[in-house]
Amino acid sequence: MRIGVYPGTFDPITLGHMDIIRRGAKLVDRLVVGVTTNISKSPMFDDDERIAMVEREVAGLGGDIRVVGFNSLLMDFAEREGASIIVRGLRAVADFEYEYQMAGMNQQLNNRVETVFLMADVSLQPIASRLVKEIAIFGGDIHKFVSPAVREAVVARIADRGLGQGEG
C-alpha cells in the first residue's frame, strides 16, 4: 500500500489545501493529512479545532483520507504512518525555494521518503491561510478562499476574540 502524508498547519484549511488533498489522494492508496503546529506561527485555532475542521472538510472526498495530528519532525511522523511520499503544494517561486530546502533536509533525515510537489491550481495560487485570516480580521470577504463552514468558523473566532473590524 502506497501511503502519502500531506502536512500543514491548516489554520484555517483553504480551498488551495483542498485542491492539493484531492489531487494528492489520487497519487496514493492512503493520504494522511498531518495537522501540526508551526512554532513560528500564532494559530487562530487550536490543534483539536484544526483537526476537526480538516476532518469535516475532507469527509465528502471519498478515497482513503485520514486526518492525524502530530507534533514531531515530519520525517518521524511519515515513518510512523508508513508513508513513502510527502505531498507538498507549491503556489509560487518563493514557495519552491523554501520547499526545496525542506525537501533536501528531509531527505538527509530519511532518504526512503520522497517529496512530491503539486502545483496549486492557477485560480487558487494566491491563497494563503495567513492572508485569509488577515483579510477576515479587516472585514474582507473570504468566501472565495475557504468553504462556507470554514468561513463561519473564522468569522466566529474573530468575533470571539474581538479582533475584527467588520464582517468577514
| Burial per residue of 141-153, b for 16 or more beta-carbon CB atoms within 10 angstroms, e otherwise | ebeebbbeebbeb
Q: Is residue 77 part of a domain?
A: yes
Is the Cβ–Cβ distance between 102 and 134 less than 8 Å? Answer: no
Write the burial class of residue 21 (CB in 10 Å: 0-12 exposed, 13-18 middle, 19+ buried): buried
**Is 84 noted as a catalytic residue in this protein?**
no
CATH of the domain at 103: 3.40.50.620
Which residue among the candidates 50, 88, 129, 151 is catalytic per the annotation?
129
Q: Is residue 140 part of a domain?
A: no
Q: Is residue 168 part of a domain?
A: no
Q: Is residue 14 part of a domain?
A: yes
Q: Is residue 148 part of a domain?
A: no
**Is 144 noted as a catalytic residue in this protein?**
no
Q: Is residue 7 part of a domain?
A: yes
Which residue among the candidates 2, 41, 143, 161 is catalytic per the annotation?
41
What are the mean pLDDT values of the chain's consecutive 10-residue runs (168 residues total)?
97 96 97 89 91 96 95 95 96 81 90 92 86 94 96 94 63
Which residue among the candidates 50, 88, 91, 157 is catalytic per the annotation?
91
Which residue among the candidates 17, 88, 133, 157 is catalytic per the annotation?
17
Q: Is residue 147 part of a domain?
A: no
Instruction: State residue 165's pLDDT score.
Output: 63
Residue recorded with cell 475532507: 58
**Is 17 noted as a catalytic residue in this protein?**
yes
Counting the structural domains of the chain, the total is: 1
Q: Which is nearest to 135 in space by CA: 19, 44, 69, 28?
A: 44
Tell me which residue range forms the domain holding 57: 3-123
**Is 143 noted as a catalytic residue in this protein?**
no
Write the burial class of residue 94 (CB in 10 Å: 0-12 exposed, 13-18 middle, 19+ buried): exposed
Question: What predicted TM-score, i.e. pTM, was given to this entire model?
Answer: 0.91
Q: Is residue 43 part of a domain?
A: yes
Taken in order 164, 40, 56, 14, the sign of the CA dihedral is: positive
- Residue 146 β-bridge partners: none
Is the Cβ–Cβ distance between 132 and 145 less than 8 Å? Answer: yes
Q: Which is nearest to 115 in space by CA: 127, 125, 105?
A: 105
